[in-house]
Structure 1
Amino acid sequence: MVGVLEGWHAMSETTYDDLLARVRELVATTEGRVPVVGITGHGGAGKSTLAERLAADLGLEEDQVVATDAFYATTCGPDAGMWEQCDWPLLEAVVRGARTGSERLRYDYRWWGGETGTEDHPMPPVLVVEGIRLLNDRTDAWFDLAVWIEMDPDAAGARAKSRNLLQGDDRAELDLWDTKWIPEGHAYEQQERPRERADLVLRAEG
């Protein structure tokens, strides 16, 4: 994984500083509710790195960033369809809570391995949501600012495999990148055209 900003550069003159300025403007001008920022890209493209950097610069706690990795559906697994991995209604409820003035960022989480629990934190001044496949027909009205990280699924997947190998993933988990995650990344990009749905596009170097 690249460092905080190492590897990021402008695409169509969009930079991290542009993103930070846009989010700060949202916080200053959105009244009566919390603005929601979505950061998405293929697995391994650097979504978490970017979201964590943005959160730190905005004064948010790490636990106040919402990751789709905490919303695996009960149907998730190697044989699940592309849209069956995430509990979309639960994630939508979190976004709706921010938009309707909830004072707490509270949700039940479920990790890939089935571990469950509850997160409960003060609602931040801006809700940052990061994860794969965030831009689609269902989520069109979710985000005040949608950010796409431009990186080819194969390059992103190769980087993710290297990262996960260092994290100790077994061979079966690593092989899923070649048999599932990377092919689904190509399919998602072709079907949903996330780059065209995004308000800002940043390119990550592989």
Structure 2
Amino acid sequence: MPNPSFAQLLDAARAGEPRCGRTRLILIDGQAGAGKSTLANRLAVALGGSASAGAGTYMPDAPLTSDAPVQIVHGDDLYEGWGGLATLDEVLLGQILEPLAAGGDGDFRMWDWLEDKRTYVIAVPQRPFLIIEGVGVAAPRARTLASLTVFVEAPWDARLARGVERDQHSYDDVINLWETFERDERARHQLTGARGAADFIIDGTAPIPDV
């Protein structure tokens, strides 16, 4: 089945009712290495915001301004390392989405994968749009607060190749780490039913046409 057009995704993001206070939440779940971050950046720019440099790149001396219309939160900044899917909801729901849904602001401490600990506090205030991308982010409770849910997938060999290219300089056993995370990922997605509940399913190896 062909991918939806980018115009369809953008229209759906804008048309959805805000369910996290004043914020329209866009969840981009899917498989590791499938292209979630790329899609998040494309949507953010189209919605009037800026692209993110990626997980782990938060600059405490230059945080996102309070009037920025779009914020991207990366799952890799939420997980506590390679085994972090087990405690994802404690941060995602407890520290970000539930406070927003109650009309307040959220925040969380970013996980530093190399230091193996939480470091900087990242504020997540009410904004017109919040995009959260990452494996496992579209849990059932999170979906009830979302204006749009997308699931991005790709064949394992393509995703592993992307992951090895990205992480090989940081981890000696990168293939084993990715294979272990893949097992946790499958279990998480089976538990949450994210793919079947998504508004759109995206093939991360195929283009998303403009129209």
Question: Could you tell which deviates more after superposition, 187-196 or 59-68?
Answer: 187-196
The alignment of Structure 1 onto Structure 2 pairs a total of residues equal to: 184
Structure 2 length normalisation: TM-score?
Answer: 0.73
1:83–1:132 Cα change, 3 Å: same
1:127–1:19 Cα change, 3 Å: same
Please report how far the alpha carbon of residue 133 of structure 1 lies from its aligned counterpart in structure 2 after TM superposition: 1.2
Structure 1 length normalisation: TM-score?
Answer: 0.75
1:39 and 2:36 aligned: no
Quote the Cα distance in structure 2 between the aligned partners of 1:138 and 1:192.
Answer: 9
Q: Which residue of 2 aligns with 1:49?
A: 38
Tell me, yes or no, if the aligned pair for 2:109 and 2:118 is still in contact at 8 Å.
no
Structure 1: gaps spanning 5 or more residues: 1-8
Please report how far the alpha carbon of residue 173 of structure 1 lies from its aligned counterpart in structure 2 after TM superposition: 3.4
Quote the Cα distance in structure 2 between the aligned partners of 1:114 and 1:58.
Answer: 33
Quote the Cα distance in structure 1 between the aligned partners of 2:197 and 2:140.
Answer: 10
Q: Deviations over 1:146-205 (max 9, x none)?
A: 10012234432332222223xx22222343113x02233333444444221101111111
1:105-184 → structure 2 map (5 Å cutoff): 106-112=107-113, 113-120=116-123, 123-165=126-168, 168-178=169-179, 180-184=180-184
Q: Which residue of 2 aligns with 1:10?
A: 2
1:158–1:120 Cα change, 3 Å: same
Q: Which residue of 2 aligns with 1:71?
A: 78
Tell me, yes or no, if the aligned pair for 2:78 and 2:110 is still in contact at 8 Å.
yes
Amino acid corresponding to residue 15 of structure 1 in structure 2: S
Any idea what SS the aligned residue of 1:171 has? coil
Tell me, yes or no, if the aligned pair for 2:74 and 2:134 is still in contact at 8 Å.
yes
1:19 and 2:48 aligned: no
Tell me, yes or no, if the aligned pair for 1:107 and 1:118 is still in contact at 8 Å.
yes
Percent of residue pairs identical: 27
Q: Could you say what the CA RMSD is over the residues aligned between the two structures, in angstroms? A: 2.7
Q: Which residue of 1 aligns with 2:57?
A: none
Tell me, yes or no, if the aligned pair for 2:13 and 2:147 is still in contact at 8 Å.
no
1:94 and 2:101 aligned: no
Any idea what SS the aligned residue of 2:117 has? coil
Amino acid corresponding to residue 96 of structure 2 in structure 1: V
Quote the Cα distance in structure 2 between the aligned partners of 1:176 and 1:138.
Answer: 28
Please report how far the alpha carbon of residue 46 of structure 1 lies from its aligned counterpart in structure 2 after TM superposition: 0.8
